[in-house]
Amino acid sequence: MNSWPLLSLLVLAPWSGAVLLGLRPGLGDRASRWLGLAFSLSTAALGAVLLTDFDPTRIGLQFVERHAWIRSLKVHYHLGLDGLSLVLVLLTAAVAPAAQLAGWGRAGPTRVPNLLLLFLQGAALGVFVAQDFVLWFTCWELSLVPAYFLIRLWGGPGATRAAYQFVVYTIGGSAFLLAGFAALFAVTGTFDFAQLAQLGRDGALAAQLGPWGVRVVFAGVLLGLAVKVPLWPFHTWLPPAYAAAPTGTVMLLTGVLSKMGMYGFLRLLWPLFPAQLQAAAPALLALAVAGIVLGAWAALRQEDLRRMLAYSSINHLGYCLAALFAVAAAAGGERPAAEAATAALAGLVLQLFNHGVTAAALFLCAGILEARAGGRSGLGDFGGLRATAPAFAAFAGVAFFASLGLPGLSGFVGEFLVFRGLFGLHPAAAVLALPGLLATAQFLLTAWRRVFHGPVQGAAADFAPLTAAEKTALALLTGLMVLPGVAPGLLTSLTNPLVTAWAGHLTR
Amino acid sequence: MNPPAADPLAAGLLERLPLLARDALTGALPEPWRWWANSLLAILAIIFVFSSLFALLTLTERKVLARVQNRPGPNRAGLPLTRFRLGGLGQPLADGIKMLTKEDIVPRGADPVLHFLAPVVLLALSLLTFAVIPYGRLLVPVELEAGVLYFFAAGAATELALFMAGWASRNKYSLLAAMRALAQLISYELPLLLAVVPVVLLAGSLSTTGIVAAQAGWDLGFVPRWFILTPWGLASFLIFLTAALAESNRSPFDLPEAESELIAGHLTEYSGFKYALFFMAEYLGMTALAGLGVTLFLGGWRAPLPFLDFVPSYAWFGLKLLALLFVFIWIRATFPRLRIDQLTRLAWKFLVPLALLNLGTAALWALTAGWSPALQPLRWLGAAALVAGPFVLLGRGLTAGLRPRTYRFA
Amino acid sequence: MTALAAIALLTLAAAAIALALRDLIHSALLLIASWVGIAAFYLWAGAEFVAFAQVLIYVGAISMVVLFAVLLTRPPTGPATREPSGRAVPGFLAGGAVLGLLAGAVLSSPLPAGTGAAPAFGVRELGLKLLGPHAGALLATAALLTVALLGAVVLAAARGKEDAS
Amino acid sequence: MHLPVQLTWLIPALPAVAAAVIAAVPARRPGLGAGLALAALAGSLILALLALAGALADPAARLIHTFTWFDLGHGAIRLGWLLDPLGTLLAVMVATVGLLIFTFSLGYLRDDPRAKQFFCFLSLFAGAMLGLLLANSLLLLFLCWELVGLASYLLIGFWFQRPAAARAARKAFITTRIGDLGLLLGLVWLQDATGTLLLFDGGRGVLETEALGALAGASTVGGLAVSTAIGLLLFCGAAGKSGQVPLHVWLPDAMEGPTPVSALIHAAPMVAAGVFLVARVYPLLAADLALASVPVHALTVVATVGAITALFGAAVAVAQDDIKRVLAFSTVSQLGYMMLAAGTGAWTAAIFHLLTHACFQALLFLSAGSVIHATHHEQDIRRLGGLRRRLPVTCATFTIGMMALAGVPFLFSGFWSKEAILHAAHGWSVSALPFHVALAAVALTAFYMTRLLAEVFAGAPRGHGAETAHESPAVMTIPLVLLAAASIGLGFLGTPWWPWLQSTLDPAFQPEPGGAGLMAVSIALVAAGILAGWSRYGRLPRTSPEAADPLARIVPRLHRALAARLGCDELYAATFGRLCTALAAATTALDRSVWDGCIRLLAQLGAYTGLVSRETDEDVLNSGFNAAGDGLRAGGRAYSRTQTGDAHGYVWMLAAGFVLVTLAVLLGGVR
Amino acid sequence: MSPLQACLLFSSALFSLGLIAVLVRSNAILVLLGVELMLNAANLNFIAFWRYGPAPAEGHGVVFVVFALAVAAAEAAVGLALVIALHRHQRNVRLGEARRLRG
């Protein structure tokens, strides 16, 4: 089976779906919905195939496809997959269909939004499997285009400004990223991640770029990625964008796009600039912890459910960043607890997957609430929903408590490992991050109480029952929240060897 | 009259008779002079033979027309100064004397040079065309590689003479007639040439002797391989025949000198000896075209049947020539005159397309030459169909608009 | 060589007189005569096919066209009155200069002394050449001729009311 | 017949699976859910008994069964189950009490439409609790610990329509969550220090000597031993769950849930979890006793916190008017006792008190439940009264419970367990404060229990509910009777003369000599408390709901303070509450002004550069191109004049050109 | 004076005669005929060079002349058609007066 160009198929399937939808302007709503879903499920199918053929014990890239693309610039169409990419591909495979299903309940045109969602999905997959910078960066930027249009055309109130800020902010960041890699190409003559990583590891990059040169390039790449994740100070685009975006899009945005930033850190920044990252790590760690704590506290203050969830995303991603920076910081430090670093990295990867699913589920619930409250998603607009819609309450409950990090659900294992690693490498940071955990519990439960508990009021009174599509999407995501919680082995087995290798050679 | 290269058939005595005579006369002269003498003899021979043929022709034409119209024709003039009428055999002599003695009038406004020059040029050109026709196996006046082309080159110049005649007589009607004659000549030059091209294609050479050589041999023992006996050959011959008639202003196409139209057309201002010259040139042109027709389609000097070889080749040529001339006269006797628009329509809408299609059929014929004998009948049938089809279709095209006229008496 | 001189002399004389004559028809006919002279030259040079083609095309066809053109464009009143055009002198000057130049060039440049033998390039070789390497050119010329034919007809054809003459 | 240790997971799994099934089964027949829950718990009770038998057979042996949860790095995260007297004994206790509470709630919630969901949460709670008790790995313990917290959240907020219940549930979860964070930090630290979270792992476990020695040896911030610090962090979790002083605020509010829930959570199992945790990790807490230089020992802190809670609970209970609030605060003070016992080294006494307390406190709560059920949800004791004749069985069981709780000597179990604790506190070498506080608490407990008894059952009925009350159905009274019997019988397990329980739990247990004098003092205090209580509330019962409380007349300000729970909630709200909102406001302000400000600045910069570039384009570049355009047009016009239209002219030019070119070529000699 | 030079002289004479015809005569037809003459002079050159040139067997000269003849015929036909159209337009064919195509 591995004679087939699986990764190209993976990336092109959603895009071909998008093109197909594009070519048929007359397509009815029902047909375009089913087509959209079918093509987004293609990722799941291919993901399953990848999973069966994937050999976790092998550290390097698998299913590699490498063809010369732009000969003059020595740019290759180079695709490859390792544990980390596979987990993120599976995440996309889970979130994308749910995002498609989220759009089923909504009135209005479905062909173009589905088309754009498929395009977004393809671009995200492209990012996760591309091993050559030009290809990677193309997909990175391509993911913005559909996102902008989706928010701009079908967004809620304040969509225009939010979409504009979202895209310009991210593109601004990636401009630095591009400049950085252009400099790298000028010096090393290659765009291939593996080769660059090799140069990075044995310090050749720093030598060729000169002490200040490498710092500037590092700063540029860091900024590009930080904006995307987002790292705390660069996050102001996120709440308005997530608040304004339609349900399906925000699920993909929070589920997949923010992970692209994190993936960028793991695939680009860390291997290429280990020394520089280690030097800047303490400061970045502080920012990450700030992200955790302040993100949570800001969420406490939000009246609108979506903004609150947006800040919760920043908080959760803060954990991942903190774990990475802790490991990077401790690389040369005096406590090279390889075991702690492994735990942190494993936690990080798990957290990426879990947060992706949980955030998607939460935003789906927010979307469902919004659909039934005429577009309003303020916490005050509902009350006592648990009485009128017990099934929905159950699903939402699982999502809320998974995001809370309740053991037995996916959130806990990730957070525990991250804390385990963080404490082992940088105890102060772990302790400082604790209030964040508490605040998360606070704002989630407050939101839960105001929406689901108390007397039935506001839009909860005539709450329409869940449609089949919404039920399947919720069931899919809930399953993916419970399963990793109960048996995290499923995911960690994929990435454990990779993570051990990372931790091993770093903290030697 | 240089003899053709080693001819395999050691010609019989009769065959070599004319050459023997010539060598007898010029044998003694040194080389350069002998060539000039031989040429001169050849020219004199041609002129004598064909001018006498012209004289006979005038007579036979009037005789044949008469017989066709169930009347005796000229039978008064016989041997001069005697009572023997010989059935009118002396008529040409009488006409000749009449022509020569009549006053040669030149209109006052006419352009004397051109007026005189027109008949001379016409006659000269007609005579030129005889140089190329192979009268017998050994009797070929000039052995030209592009013989057929030479023939038509000379023929083309006759239009110029006609124009001169028309223009020089300073007479509106003769100029108009000249114009119409030119139109007719030019219209029919195309089908004439196109009819010849298939023959050249099949013979594989432009030289007349080459063409005659290509028609050697017999099929199935007794059917000679003349071009006329092939489907496309018949079609080409018919087109050639029609075009030849038009070129020599004969019968159905003799509009320019038609009495009922513009008096004598471009010849109105000519009389006496110049008119005779025109008359002679016309007949010579007709004979030359007939000679070419014989060479191209009727196998030139070849005998029709294998066992008739003993008869000298120039005899066969003469017989075929007379037969063709008789056909010319016969056509003149039967077909009514065509109007100028019918004439041109016939040329452009019937003959030219037909000739082109025939060229195609001939090409196919050449391609399928190599088929096995079993397939030969299919080849013949195919070619026949390819010829017959357009004939019928284009023909229907010609007569599309015509309806039988109903005469209503007042 | 004497034959060449004769032909040259005749052709040049015909051409020169044609230019000098007043009457268009006469000058046209004389020019046609010069064309025949050129055909004779071709015969002398051994290119039979070209000679007969020259006669067929120029004397057969182009002369007719020229004469028709002359007839069609004759002014309604008698022969054209000729007013002396001021261009005679510069014309002759330019012609003379070009002639002198060409003659000088011919005489001074080392021309290849050809073998002089009659080249063996008959109709068959020409046919093979035409339909071989130059088949394309042949087809193009065919197309050109048809188009020129149609073009000439369209240009010359009387259009509606304004062809008063 | 012993339960093989490999099957231990069945005990917690049965109720958990039952919970899942009940949730999945559509609500056609409510009875089905309840039946399933009961059956599952009964099953796990039987298994627990088998496990207890196995454990008792050889108390010293550590029957453990570990399995890999998921592999991490070179090693793996391993969890495990442990069968030892402490765990199995408490498992049996939880199962039995749970079973009784289940049957009681059958009757209590018969007419509630969402009964099915109630039983689902109850069995989830039971499953989690059992898991917690039998876990061999602290991580698994923490897993179950949080699930117990979730179950309590769901149960307290069962009647979520009532905002008070919803808010109480959230408060409970958040407060316990604060404690859990401490526990999490402790766990993480422990894993980091020892590399594993398994309690006993064939020598490598956390509680094994080798790891304990390492922990005690290392010192961390503030000179504390690592084991002390970790111990204290773990104690935070325990304090949160068991409602010790700083984190007790959620417990009284948890009364908002249905009474069986209060019984289940606040009488026995859930709050006991904290004490169980302290008992389980006692070796870790005690590791630093040997160290002299250490500023403070973990156990000292435990003891002091226990003492304070005991006193605080008892004091506040005196001034409460809600029947369930009184019992809640009594639980708080009893838990204080247990922590005090553990802190003073007698963790076996604490467990003994835990067992006895489970029975009589459950009994008291269920009796209160029966009272509330009978009086149609009337909870204010001021409107009750005179129920002696109307609810005879409930009154009898309530009295027995009161006697046990107050510690009436000899017959009732409460006396023996409390005696053991006083004995340990007395023997504590560090300081005598806990002992004195304990004694005071004994008196106070006796006083407020008698007050409660008198207010509810003595005198005339003062409210409509009280008048129309009638005895609860059999399904509710039977568990009461059983519990009453247990409250009496259980005491004899751990009497000083035959300390069976203590010796089974801790093989190295030696009974303390000479407790007789101490026993006399405590009996005296109990008698004094009861007499005082009866004299204030028994002899001249309250006449009307509005009548002032006798105690209020004596010490009005103290009584009002105590009634207001010494203002803990208000204090927290004032401090933490406002801090949180302030911080949140600060961050959002920071976001909006600082970061958005930077972005707006950048946008402004962009606009400005755009303006400048447009200006330069306009007058510098464009004008240049226009000039070039004009020049070209002029040149074109000049050239066009040469086209005169005269054909001859053209030919003449051609000829001239030809001549010139040829001359150039010839003369130039260009070859 | 080799025969080739003689031929070339003959053709240059013919060429300059044609040129003079074009320059001197004002009648459009004669101008056209002058051009025709110049064309023939060129053909003459070709045949001369073919005859006395280095590779007569190749026959480039002859082939070129054949094509030149065809083109000249086409050119003559169109040219005279133009003259007729010119005549129709301005009643006479004096080239000097046909100045409408001015720059």
Q: What is the pLDDT of residue C78?
A: 56
| Cα nearest neighbour of D158 on chain A | A453
Q: What is the pLDDT of residue D532?
A: 85
Q: What is the pLDDT of residue B6?
A: 40
Of the candidates C49, C55, C71, the beta carbon closest to that of B156 is on C55
Tally: H helices and E strands in chain C: 7, 0
Q: Do the Cβ atoms of C90 and D652 come within 8 Å?
A: yes
Q: What is the pLDDT of residue A508?
A: 44
Chain E contact for C141 (CB, 8 A cutoff): yes
For chains D and E, what is the number of CB pairs under 8 angstroms? Answer: 30
Q: Is the pLDDT of residue B319 over 70?
A: yes
Return d(Cα B60, Cα B317) in angstroms, integer: 19
Chain E contact for D576 (CB, 8 A cutoff): no
Q: Do the Cβ atoms of D146 and A406 come within 8 Å?
A: yes
Q: Which helix (H) or strand (E) holds C156?
A: helix C135-156
List, as one string, the DSSP characters of A130-160. Answer: B-BHHHHHHHHHHTHHHHHHHHHHH--TTHH
Contacts of D611 (CB under 8 A, 6+ apart): none
Q: Which helix (H) or strand (E) holds D77?
A: strand D75-83
Chains A and B are touching, with contact defined as 3 or more CB–CB pairs separated by less than 8 Å: no
Contacts of D183 (CB under 8 A, 6+ apart): D142, D145, D233, D234, D236, D237, D238, D240
The pLDDT tens digits of the residues spanning B256-311 come to 766 666 667 788 888 888 888 888 998 999 999 999 999 999 988 888 888 887 88
Asked if omega into D392 is within 30° of 0 (cis), the reply is no
pLDDT beneath 70: ranges in chain A: 1-2, 105, 331-337, 505-508
CA dihedral B309, B314, B320, B326 (to 10 degrees): -150
Return d(Cα E45, Cα B351) in angstroms, integer: 39
Which residues of chain C make contact with B163, given a CB cutoff of 8 A? Answer: 64, 67
Which residues of chain D make contact with C107, given a CB cutoff of 8 A? Answer: none
Q: Do the Cβ atoms of E103 and D642 come within 8 Å?
A: yes
Return d(Cα A373, Cα D29) in angstroms, integer: 33
Chains meeting A at 3+ CB pairs closer than 8 A? Answer: D
* C 70-99: CB under 8 A from E: 70, 72-73, 75, 80, 85, 87-88, 90-92, 94-96, 98-99
Q: Is the pLDDT of residue B8 over 60?
A: no
CB D44 within 8 A of CB D37: no
Q: Which residue is it, tokens 């709670």?
A: D125
Q: Fill in the DSSP letter of residue A463.
A: P
Q: Do the Cβ atoms of B160 and C53 come within 8 Å?
A: no
* C 142-161: CB under 8 A from E: 144-145, 147-149, 151-156, 158
Chains meeting D at 3+ CB pairs closer than 8 A? Answer: A, C, E
Q: What is the mean pLDDT of residues B135-159?
A: 88
Q: What is the pLDDT of residue D670?
A: 57
Of the candidates D644, D646, D655, the beta carbon closest to that of E19 is on D655
Chain C contact for B359 (CB, 8 A cutoff): no
The pLDDT tens digits of the residues spanning E9-23 come to 999 999 999 999 988
Q: What is the mean pLDDT of residues B201-212?
A: 90
Q: Do the Cβ atoms of D645 and E102 come within 8 Å?
A: yes
Which residues of chain B make contact with C53, given a CB cutoff of 8 A? Answer: 149, 153
The pLDDT tens digits of the residues spanning C52-70 come to 999 999 998 899 989 988 8
> Is pTM, for the whole model, over 0.90?
no
Q: What is the mean pLDDT of residues C105-109?
A: 82
CB B278 within 8 A of CB B267: yes
Chains E and A are touching, with contact defined as 3 or more CB–CB pairs separated by less than 8 Å: no
Return d(Cα B292, Cα B248) in angstroms, integer: 13
CB D134 within 8 A of CB D199: no
Q: What is the pLDDT of residue B123?
A: 92
Of the candidates D167, D584, D595, the beta carbon closest to that of A233 is on D595
Q: Do the Cβ atoms of E102 and D644 come within 8 Å?
A: yes
Query: Exposure string (b/e) for D216-240, b if CB count within 10 Å is 16 or more?
Result: beebeeeebbbbbbbbbbbbbbbbb
Q: Do the Cβ atoms of D655 and C101 come within 8 Å?
A: no
Q: What is the mean pLDDT of residues B350-370?
A: 90
Of the candidates A234, A340, A455, the beta carbon closest to that of D161 is on A455
Chains E and D are touching, with contact defined as 3 or more CB–CB pairs separated by less than 8 Å: yes
For chains B and C, what is the number of CB pairs under 8 angstroms? Answer: 55
Q: Vertex A200, ends A198 and A205: CA angle to 5°?
A: 120
CA distances for A77 relative to A264, A330, B337, D482, angstroms: 18, 35, 85, 77
Q: Fill in the DSSP letter of residue A484.
A: H
Q: Do the Cβ atoms of D188 and A419 come within 8 Å?
A: yes
CB D339 within 8 A of CB D244: yes
* A 4-63: CB under 8 A from D: none
Contacts of A154 (CB under 8 A, 6+ apart): A108, A113, A246, A249
CA distances for B6 relative to A339, B10, B11, B17, angstroms: 114, 9, 10, 17
Q: Do the Cβ atoms of D185 and A338 come within 8 Å?
A: no
| Cα nearest neighbour of E34 on chain D | D651
Strands (E), A16-91: 62-70, 75-81
Q: Do the Cβ atoms of B156 and C52 come within 8 Å?
A: no
CA distance D624 to chain E (A): 30
Q: Do the Cβ atoms of B182 and C52 come within 8 Å?
A: no
Q: Do the Cβ atoms of C64 and B206 come within 8 Å?
A: no
Instruction: Give the pairing type, strands B218-219 and B223-224.
Output: antiparallel
Q: Do the Cβ atoms of E103 and D648 come within 8 Å?
A: no
Q: Which two three-digit tokens encode residue B145? A: 């590689």
Q: Which two three-digit tokens encode residue A488? A: 């995290």
Chain D contact for C133 (CB, 8 A cutoff): no
Q: Which residue is it, tokens 């034919």?
A: C149
CB A105 within 8 A of CB A467: yes
Chain D contact for E98 (CB, 8 A cutoff): yes
CA distances for D43 relative to D29, D92, D270, angstroms: 22, 11, 20
Q: Which two three-digit tokens encode residue D134? A: 């039998």
Contacts of B404 (CB under 8 A, 6+ apart): none
Chain E contact for C8 (CB, 8 A cutoff): yes
SS (H, E, C) D467-534: HHCCCCCHHHHHHHHHHHHHHHHHHHHHCCCCCHHHHHHCCCCCCCCCCHHHHHHHHHHHHHHHHHHH
- Would the CA dihedral through D661, D667, D668, D671 be positive or negative? positive
Q: Is the pLDDT of residue B368 over 50?
A: yes
Closest alpha carbon to A17 in A116, A96, A105, A104: A116
On average, the pLDDT of chain A sits at: 85
On average, the pLDDT of chain D sits at: 82
Chain C contact for E43 (CB, 8 A cutoff): yes
The count of other CB atoms within 10 Å of the CB of residue A23 is 8
Of the candidates C103, C141, C155, the beta carbon closest to that of E67 is on C141
Chain C contact for B186 (CB, 8 A cutoff): yes
| Cα nearest neighbour of D656 on chain C | C94
Query: Exposure string (b/e) for D611-640, b if CB count within 10 Å is 16 or more?
Result: eeeeeeeeeeeeeeeeeeeeeeeeeeeeee
List, as one string, the DSSP characters of B353-388. Answer: HHHHHHHHHHHHHHHGGG--GGGHHHHHHHHHHHHH
Q: Do the Cβ atoms of A298 and D584 come within 8 Å?
A: yes
Q: What is the pLDDT of residue C140?
A: 92
Q: Is the pLDDT of residue B9 over 90?
A: no
Chain C contact for B153 (CB, 8 A cutoff): yes
Which residues of chain C make contact with D664, given a CB cutoff of 8 A? Answer: none
| Cα nearest neighbour of B205 on chain C | C124
Best interface-test mutation with D: which of C89, C98, C106, C107 has the largest number of D CBs within 10 A? Answer: C98
Q: What is the pLDDT of residue C15?
A: 92
The pLDDT tens digits of the residues spanning E53-83 come to 777 777 888 899 999 999 999 999 999 998 8
Closest alpha carbon to A247 in A346, A103, A32: A103
Q: Do the Cβ atoms of C19 and E82 come within 8 Å?
A: no
Chain D contact for C99 (CB, 8 A cutoff): no
Q: Is the pLDDT of residue C18 over 50?
A: yes
The pLDDT tens digits of the residues spanning A183-225 come to 888 888 888 888 888 888 777 877 888 888 888 888 888 988 9
pLDDT beneath 50: ranges in chain D: none
Contacts of D635 (CB under 8 A, 6+ apart): none
Helix (H, G, I), strand (E, B) or coil at C133: coil
CA distances for C136 relative to C127, C139, E70, angstroms: 13, 5, 14
